[in-house]
Structure 1
Amino acid sequence: MIDSKVERDARSEPLDALRGLAISMVIAYHYFGFKFGIFGVNLFFVLSGFLIGGILLDGRERPGYFPSFYGRRAFRILPLYWLLLMIAPPDHWGYYLLFIQQAAWLQFGFPVHEPIFVTWSLALEEQFYLILPILIFWLPRPWLIRVLWGGVLLAPAWRWLFDAYLPHPSWLCLLPGRLDELFGGVLIACLTRGYCRSRTTWAILALIAPVCDVVHFALVGSIAALSVVGFTCCVAVWSAAITERPVMLRPLIWMGRRCYALYLFHMLVYAAVLKLDAPFSAFIALLATCALAETSWRVIEAPLIGYAKRRFARMDSGPNRIIGAAVMPDR
């Protein structure tokens, strides 16, 4: 029998709507100049930490822990990603294949105006996927919580250091500086599973990074106080996770379930449409991107997700069966 808690976390309309809101914000930022849309990436990171963390926490004692997780992630992420790299082959493509394109960018410059630059967040998430399963599998619960909080509390300091000593925008694109959002999502998953002994202590810890970021911004003002945005996104994800009633926001839910293709290809489509010099280019690009995402979902993504569930089923055995969840790379 499917565990209702895991099922709700993995595929719930409130969380799908949040994913849809996140990708809508990102597209609005790139297509229509909505300046706050960039914070959709922050929401994606928290969602990824929450959903992936929940899957790993519930599956840590089951056989096939690593093969199931990495097998499903490979079938979910790699086909469309490889397709993007074939359509728009980047410079230093070997780095992209290994999801370490930040290393090339630090050497040769950040291609912020190229459509392929959107893969920075996917690369960061793939790096996160390498470390989180190991942490959850090997660390006892008390030490896991300490490490997660350590990553959250140190993330602002990493961003300050990256901004001071590395090229712009390293502070946005390197993993240590985004752990307050990714590990924050994992901590929400821990909270909903009863790992928290003192909610007061956790609430105090959750406020430390935002307060420090605000103070740093007031004194220096060089980079945004991302911890405040991350904290807000954590509250939104936690609220969606405990929501029992379905959210009747069908367009957002549709976008949330097809957000991976929307994320990967929206800038490529936009660049192609701009070359046509047609009126209402942004709206034409939006319609084309949605049509492409729907086609991708039906022809590529859904069949591969179904195959991966059957192929890597060992983690699904037992009374608390784990469901393949859609995370930030499900954009």
Structure 2
Amino acid sequence: MNNLAPERSVQPDRSEPLDALRGLAISLVIAHHYFGFRLGEFGVDLFFVLSGFLIGGILLDSREQPDFFSSFYGRRAFRILPLYWLLLLIAPPDRWAYYLFFIQQVPWVQFGYPVHDPTFVTWSLAVEEQFYLVLPILVFWLPRPWLVRVLWCGALLAPPSRWLFGAYLPHPSWVVLLPGRLDELFGGVLIACFMREYCRSRVAWATLALVPPLCDIFHFALFGSTAPLSVASLICCMAVMSAAATDAQVMFRPLIWMGRRCYALYLFHMLVYSAVSGQTWSAVVAFAIVGALAEISWRIVEAPLIGYAKRRFVMRSSDDHPSSRVGAPTHMPDGLVVETKHK
């Protein structure tokens, strides 16, 4: 285990600003898919940064508990698998065995991307699961200085990864493979690190944060082959950091409602849309149906399973560890699972 001294959890059990930000993200994604709203693509980037921040915070605050891995993966399994398996059962994709192991990008790179298949949205869930395999190992084994260095290396190498994928792999590999999204996922984790005072020099961190966007802009200006996603990543990191640092109540309650039901909304929104496509006001009808399904899913499936997983797999913060110098327990909220479509 790493030799870091325990630190206090700094994230509230439920944050309305973060829930609202998730609601904004899923609203943008659905608006993009249903109504062709081009700026809706930024909902994808916001989802990844939020996920990195929330999952990173959970892992950083609980890394010293004895059942670190079993608790984390137990909670993730209860949160992710039931609805995911239901989607695969309702709309079984080609080469479904790859989907079971969250490596559907493997046949896609070989045989082409099924961009019009309702299950194509699961590419980001696959990215998330691959991220979940890597990050807990890094957090558990690396001392604080090395953890921060590895996170920054991953974030800085994301733009070159996208450039290489865009040049040598079929479209849209540069968007849907994990190395190309590490500036967003690791960027979220770095925000969690920053809020736990892992940062020794704010000037150095600010300078490093500007490197990927500047390199991406320069590459785009020269070649124009891949969009400068690092710019969107930086903007989303700033939004998440601002939301996490405030305790203000959010007045626009529909965003909070959508944020807390975003998993079902995203998994099934394209499936519902494809089922009613061609009907009058199909986008509005699809949104009403998927909203109703998300509410039913939340009340009957998701909320009960999340509650059970929290009781069965307790993610104790460092404050709860016997060696901690601070005794007040604080529990982190569940992380975000995102499901997005390519740009």
TM bracket (short chain) = over 0.9
Kindly indicate whether residue 337 of structure 2 is the aligned counterpart of residue 328 of structure 1. yes
Kindly indicate whether residue 18 of structure 2 is the aligned counterpart of residue 15 of structure 1. yes
Map residues 180-259 of structure 1 onto 2, 5 A cutoff: 180-259=183-262
Q: Are the counterparts in 2 of residues 259 and 330 from structure 1 also a CA contact under 8 Å? A: no
The one of 5, 20, 26 equivalent to 2:10 is 5
TM-score under structure 2 length normalisation: 0.92
Q: Are the counterparts in 1 of residues 55 and 189 from structure 2 also a CA contact under 8 Å? A: yes
Q: Are the counterparts in 2 of residues 29 and 38 from structure 1 also a CA contact under 8 Å? A: yes
Mean Cα displacement is larger for which, 305-314 or 121-130?
305-314
| 1:104 shift after superposition | 1.1
TM-score under structure 1 length normalisation: 0.95
One-letter amino acid matched to 1:92: R
Kindly indicate whether residue 68 of structure 2 is the aligned counterpart of residue 59 of structure 1. no
Q: Deviations over 1:220-274 (max 9, x none)?
A: 0111100000000000000000012112120000000000000100000000011
Q: Deviations over 1:68-118 (max 9, x none)?
A: 100000000000000000000000000000000000101111001111100
Q: Are the counterparts in 1 of residues 156 and 183 from structure 2 also a CA contact under 8 Å? A: yes
Q: Are the counterparts in 2 of residues 71 and 308 from structure 1 also a CA contact under 8 Å? A: yes
Per the alignment, residue 292 of structure 2 pairs with: 291
- After superposition, the Cα gap between the structure-2 partners of 1:247 and 1:155, relative to the gap in structure 1 and judged at 3 Å, is same
One-letter amino acid matched to 1:320: P
One-letter amino acid matched to 1:216: H
One-letter amino acid matched to 1:67: S
Q: Are the counterparts in 2 of residues 118 and 264 from structure 1 also a CA contact under 8 Å? A: yes
Secondary structure of 1:66 counterpart? helix
One-letter amino acid matched to 1:272: A
Secondary structure of 1:5 counterpart? coil
- After superposition, the Cα gap between the structure-2 partners of 1:178 and 1:4, relative to the gap in structure 1 and judged at 3 Å, is closer
CA–CA distance in 2 between the matches of 1:169 and 1:4? 38
Runs of 5+ in structure 2 lacking a partner? 1-7, 322-327
| 1:322 shift after superposition | 2.3
CA–CA distance in 1 between the matches of 2:9 and 2:18? 15
| 1:323 shift after superposition | 3.2
Q: Are the counterparts in 2 of residues 75 and 304 from structure 1 also a CA contact under 8 Å? A: yes
Secondary structure of 1:164 counterpart? helix
Q: Are the counterparts in 2 of residues 257 and 330 from structure 1 also a CA contact under 8 Å? A: no
Kindly indicate whether residue 165 of structure 2 is the aligned counterpart of residue 165 of structure 1. no
Mean Cα displacement is larger for which, 240-249 or 201-210?
240-249
Kindly indicate whether residue 310 of structure 2 is the aligned counterpart of residue 309 of structure 1. yes
Per the alignment, residue 124 of structure 2 pairs with: 121
Q: Are the counterparts in 2 of residues 309 and 324 from structure 1 also a CA contact under 8 Å? A: no
**Percent identical:** 70
| 1:63 shift after superposition | 2.1
| 1:321 shift after superposition | 3.4
| 1:11 shift after superposition | 2.0
What is the count of residue pairs matched by the alignment? Answer: 325
Aligned-pair Cα RMSD in Å: 1.4
Per the alignment, residue 282 of structure 1 pairs with: 283
Q: Are the counterparts in 2 of residues 81 and 264 from structure 1 also a CA contact under 8 Å? A: yes
CA–CA distance in 2 between the matches of 1:152 and 1:330? 21
CA–CA distance in 2 between the matches of 1:314 and 1:184? 22
Q: Are the counterparts in 2 of residues 72 and 305 from structure 1 also a CA contact under 8 Å? A: yes
